[in-house]
A and B are shown apart, each in its own frame.
Chain A
Amino acid sequence: MEFMLDQAQTDFGRTLDRMLGGADTPRAVRAWARGEHAPGRAVWGRLAEAGVTGLAVPEAYEGVGPLPVELGVAYVAAGRHAVPGPLAETAAAAVLLAALAEGGTARAGQAAGHWLPRIADGRALVTLAAADGGPYALDADAADAVFAVEGEELWLAPGHGPVQPSFDPARRLARPLPGGEPLARGLAVATAAARAADWAAFATAALSLGTGLALVERTAAYVKQRTQFGRPIGSFQAVKHRLADALIGLEFARPLLYGAAVALASTPANEARAEVAAAKVAAGEAAYTAARTALQLHGALGYTEEYDLSLWIRKARALRTAWGSPSVCRSRVLTAASSRPDRS
């Protein structure tokens, strides 16, 4: 057993962190929220150069995946820098297309052959609407393809409906239009979609963890320099303890995230589901707690749109319910725990 990131994985995370730290992501996020995608696409381009976009794509389709641990590392970094775009959805769509191409219809094979290499090298940014994720396809207006799953059918949507504003303006929600090209049908679609939804939930958990870490780091920095009553407010216990609790939540979500990554890499799909759900609840709740803490400790400043902290505060709220609300995920955990009374 070696339940820790190895040197290469640690270095990968640091490299991405440094790279994204210099990419002025706040500007890209604000542009994305206005429907201007060029700066955000440029950030995606840099992620692609670093190998991030190929992590969910199998080697047969010019990717390097599936590598859930590395994807976790990369998405935590993306969350820390609030990278805009359908990150979780692109990874999930890649898993879905790859699963259906394997032993599926010729049409599904063609779709995989067309889209997966483009996802892997960052040319294509795609999105996905599926029951587990609700009716909307995230950032459909920016995506090169909108995939939709309903029941046992997967199709390539001909377009999307009007963009609905989200609490996080950088998340642009739209329904896929009906009709379009059917790619696959049958039980295999439902099975592959469930697997894809687990990947989406896992990716969302990683983004949440990164979002929460950024909120705690930014808040710790703020309370060190903000002075009241002649002292930095970070020297007050009421402030310290709130931040400490936020950090505890995040640091115990982290092992669940990588436990889920190990499960996605190695165990049967139905067993990974509960591990992913546990990670999703823990990371989502921890990031949300971090957001509430950040807001409170920044005072009115944190309540403004203008201050960049808002980019992370709003994202934490949205990610909490994306791809499996806390309640849905807790149900999954409990279903698995009560059907498995004995230990391995």
Chain B
Amino acid sequence: MDLDLSEGQLAFRAEARRWLAAHTPATALPSLETAEGFAAHRAWERMLAADRWSVVTWPEEYGGRGASLVEWLLFEEEYYAAGAPGRVSQNGISLLAPTLFEHGSAEQRARILPPMACGETIWAQAWSEPETGSDLASLRSTARRADGGWLLSGQKTWSSRAAFADRAFGLFRSDPAADAPHRRLTYLMFALDAPGVTVRPIGRLDGKPAFAELFLDEVFVPDEDVIGEPGQGWRIAMSTAGNERGLTLRSPGRFTAAARRLVALWRERADAPGSGADEAAAVRDRVADAVIRARAYELFAYAGASRLAAGGSLGAESSLNKVFWSELDIALHETALDLLGPYGELADTADDPAAPGPWSDGYTFALAGPIYAGTNEIQRDIIAERLLGLPKGRR
């Protein structure tokens, strides 16, 4: 049991630190949930990819470095410590790519992964539907057989990044007569500018078009854009869901960096004249908890990476992870906004020098955490049933 880094890992970390110090934009990019910010973040993805920092764990042939999970954790730690921009390619990299590595064909990997790695193609997810949220297997959008491919029809919603993204991936019902709702679903990829696709952006809580509704009217998808076998979509998607909740969706570096910024803000307020000191005293325990929980999450990830490296698996433990980071993210940002007192309510677009800026945007982002990637209620059901062996019941 140790936390020691090898020579190679130390060198990797030092290289990442140097690169990030030289390339991280000096001023924060505009929010990636705006047209302007989306373009700026896409350009940043290109810059990352040019020096092979966008997808470090991927094999070299697709633009990665073949880095280990521990190295990925180190990179992420450096990435967020440097204050580097949010990752607009996140959906593709952490959801679709693992699916392609596990279930895609060599042709699909060669065609899809390199443009994903450099931000040329940015992916949105298309899981939820107006009547389908947590009960994903109840989805109604259809894929109908056509010459050389499939025709997609129906409606998807809450599709993150879809307002500005290039392509999307999701599940479609390819056999309405199947005996169980989760059978005969097919995993397909489609272009968001294909004929028959209408994208209607939806403003999230702060008004930014972070997601969209997708209306699909006989959208043609060639056979080459089906992942795995038709009818096997549910099984394939569930392996993606595991990835999403597991180690790779929210790296510990995000939270350790945010906790460090929170401590700095707390110190600043404690030393400031006026009511700042009272506020700092009042939230002291919450600041400490943010530090402790960020450290716990970091060590939990190292434990998971060690177990995976030794041939183990994560399984239902991913659900512990998802609930933990999503609640930590909110607690961290709430504490920062409380510390800012009367300035805490200002939006990230406010130009007063005292405005919370990234804390405000981060808070809005964090509020979605307990909802997406499988609601925390679903995760708690999974924890209770699979880790504690409690009986299934009505939801």
Chain A residues within 8 Å of B, Cβ to Cβ: 1-6, 9, 69, 216, 220, 223-224, 231-232, 234-237, 239-241, 243-245, 247-248, 251-256, 258-259, 261-262, 266, 275, 278, 281-282, 326-327, 330-331, 333-334, 337-338, 341, 343
Contact = CB atoms under 8 A, between A and B. Distances in A.
Interface in B275-317: 284-285, 287-289, 291-293, 295-297, 299-300, 302-303, 305-307, 309-310, 317
B299 A259 contact: yes
B291 A337 contact: yes
Interface stretch (B34-42, B132-140, B258-266, B331-339): B258-266
Contact of B1 (A247, A258, A343): A258
Contacts of A69: 1
B384 A334 contact: no
Given A237-B395, A241-B384, A341-B264, A3 B390 contact: no
B291 A334 contact: yes
Given A334-B284, A341-B260, A220 B389 contact: yes
B393 A236 contact: yes
A330 B299 CA distance: 18
Closest 6 CB pairs of A and B: A235-B393, A255-B299, A240-B384, A330-B288, A244-B380, A244-B383
B13 to A, nearest CB: 10
B106 interface: no
The prevalent SS among residues of B at the interface is helix
A328 to B, nearest CB: 11
Contact of A237 (B285, B305, B377): B377
A224 B2 contact: no
B199 to A, nearest CB: 36
A24 to B, nearest CB: 25
Contacts of B377: 237, 241
B324 interface: yes
A337 B263 contact: yes
14 contacts: A3-B2, A4-B306, A6-B1, A220-B390, A223-B390, A237-B395, A240-B390, A241-B381, A244-B384, A262-B1, A278-B295, A282-B293, A327-B285, A334-B287
Contact of A330 (B289, B306, B393): B289
A282 B296 contact: yes
B273 interface: no
Nearest to B73: A1
Contacts of B388: 216, 220, 240, 243-244, 247
Interface string B373-395: 00001011101110111111111
Contacts of B289: 281, 330
B369 to A, nearest CB: 14
Contacts of B23: none
A240 B296 contact: no
Contacts of A253: 296
Contacts of A275: 295
A258 B3 CA distance: 10
B21 interface: no
B393 A3 contact: no
A2 B1 contact: yes
A241 B6 CA distance: 40
Contact of B266 (A234, A259, A266, A338): A338
B383 A247 contact: yes
Given A327-B285, A343-B81, A235 B390 contact: yes
Contacts of B299: 3, 255-256, 258-259
B249 interface: no
A241 B77 CA distance: 31
Nearest to A333: B288
B267 interface: yes
A331 B388 CA distance: 34
